[in-house]
Amino acid sequence: MPLIVQKFGGTSVANIEKIRSVALRIAKKKQQGDRMIIVLSAMANDTNRLINMASEISKDADPKHVDLLISTGEQVSISLMAMAIKELGLETEPLLAYQIPIITDNNHTKARIKKIDTARINKALDKGKIVIIAGFQGYTEEGNITTIGRGGSDTTAVAIACAIKADYCEIFTDVDGVYTVDPRICSNAKKIPKISYEEMLELADSGAKVLQTRSVEIATKYRVPIHVRSSFKEDIGTWVVPEENIMEDTIVSGVTCNINEAKIAIRKVPDKIGITAKIFEPIAKAGINVDMIIQNVSADGFTDLTFTVPKEDLKKAIALTETVAKRVEAGKVEAAADIAKISIIGVGMRTHAGIAHKMFEALSKEGIGIQMIGTSEIKVSIVIDLKYAELATRILHEVFCLT
């Protein structure tokens, strides 16, 4: 019998009616003979509501206390789902992270999964039960509740699928697959039937919100297929699979637009060995992800250093950067939040020349200036002024024939 992990996001379980609808879908699949593990997010907007409540109480709440609070949303959704499935005559085993347990590190609000004990899950499956697991949350070896960051239920689901050696993991969401571009920006976006792990990882890392980046990293490592599909339709979605399972590579598979990045620049950094490492050390220790980095050519013994961080971490990153800039005797620190990161991604870029030139030329014709450039083997990313974000995205989607 196939062993399947299914994850349903917040919009899929937003209210009682939708919970009942998902329960019927799960029951139908179970009746086909599949062994099933269900991972749930909190009901839509529950996590935001809890975060806002915490902010009202304290502007500088202990992350450990925040995790204790915001992890409760998933407890509600798995309880209601267990009741709904029970009403359909099927047995369930709802489990919180500590009951499994899902062990994480101690990095509260952004914890990483270290290991998962599958014994209790397997025991329930052997009894023919549908296992329902709270996503987003973990448990430290010291006995504290953690959460694993925004979109963390994706990571929970894929990690469970890998640990339990599931045949595949289905991610049910409010979109019916992975598209060549955000359909809200380009109405002629096309659904991608199959995409490689590597491309999906770059898409997720560049701002596509269909899957959390860490979930794709885990799937890539353990080669578990992911099926991204709609909670509200029966249509086939997008399969995320090894590259060798895709018949032919397209040059560019997708364009992403990320408006959740900010830029920090440090002027007149002494051009000495080890200075750059000293600058980024406190940022790394704070768990802030630095994406694009540009260091200008040295002049008169000084250089400028510019990098991007998530907009939600900007305030903390500025404070850390200003402190370390004084320590290394650098100049002023400047920041800008009105930027967008636009990326083109495709495994075919490995074997085709001139892709970056085509990208830059198309944007220059529209008078769109480029502030930063970053590349990987299958991606070119640029930072531009926020006001051009959607225009640039539409231009590149058309230029690379993704319509």
Q: How many residues does the chain have?
A: 403
Torsion of CA 380, 318, 259, 229, to 10 degrees: 90
- How far is CA 119 from each of CA 100, 142, 225, 253, rounded to the nearest angstrom? 8, 20, 23, 40
Q: Which of 337, 387, 388 is nearest to 363 (CA)?
A: 388
pLDDT, position 151:
87
DSSP H helical segments within 97-250, as ranges?
119-126, 152-164, 197-205, 213-222
CB neighbours (10 Å) of residue 34? 15
Say what the pLDDT of residue 379 is: 95
Smallest CA-to-CA distance from 269 within 260, 259, 258, 280 is with 280
**Structure pTM?**
0.87
Percent of the chain residues topping a pLDDT of 70 = 98
Ranges of residues in the chain with a pLDDT under 70 are 245-249, 402-403
Q: Residue 159 has what pLDDT?
A: 98
The per-residue pLDDT for range 172-211, each reduced to its tens digit, is: 988 889 999 999 999 999 999 999 999 999 998 887 778 9
Would strands 261-270 and 302-310 be described as parallel, antiparallel, or unpaired?
antiparallel
Q: At what angle do helices 46-57 and 72-86 cross, to 10 degrees?
A: 150
pLDDT at 297: 81
| Tokens encoding 316 | 């903390």
Give the Cα separation of 113 and 93 in Å (integer): 22
Q: How far is CA 146 from CA 56, 66, 79, in A?
A: 21, 9, 19
Report the distance separating Cα 37 and Cα 30, nearest Å: 10
SS3 label, residue 191: strand
Token couple for 124: 């329930």
Cα separation, 296 vs 279, in Å, equals 15
The 10s digit of each residue's pLDDT in 72-121 is: 999 999 999 999 999 999 999 999 999 999 999 999 999 999 999 999 99
- 374: number of Cβ within 10 Å: 17
Degrees, nearest 5: CA angle 118-9-3:
35
Return the C-alpha torsion angle 311, 313, 314, 317, nearest 10: -150
CB-count exposure of residue 237 (10 Å: 0-12, 13-18, 19+): buried
CA gyration radius for the chain?
23
Rounded to whole angstroms, how far apart are CA atoms 344 and 254?
6
For 239, phi then psi, to 5°, come to: -95, 130
Question: What's the pLDDT at 198?
Answer: 93
Q: Is 202 exposed, middle or buried (0-12, 13-18, 19+ CB in 10 A)?
A: buried
User: What's the CATH code, domain 3-174?
Assistant: 3.40.1160.10
Do 345 and 378 meet the contact criterion of CB atoms below 8 Å apart? yes
Token digits of residue 179: 């598209």
Do 372 and 306 contact (CB within 8 A), yes or no? yes
Residue 246: per-residue pLDDT = 66
* Cα–Cα distance list, 320 to 47, 151, 249, 286, 311 (Å): 28, 26, 43, 9, 15
Domain range summary for the chain, segments of one domain joined by +: 3-174
Short-list 163, 110, 138, CA closest to 3: 163
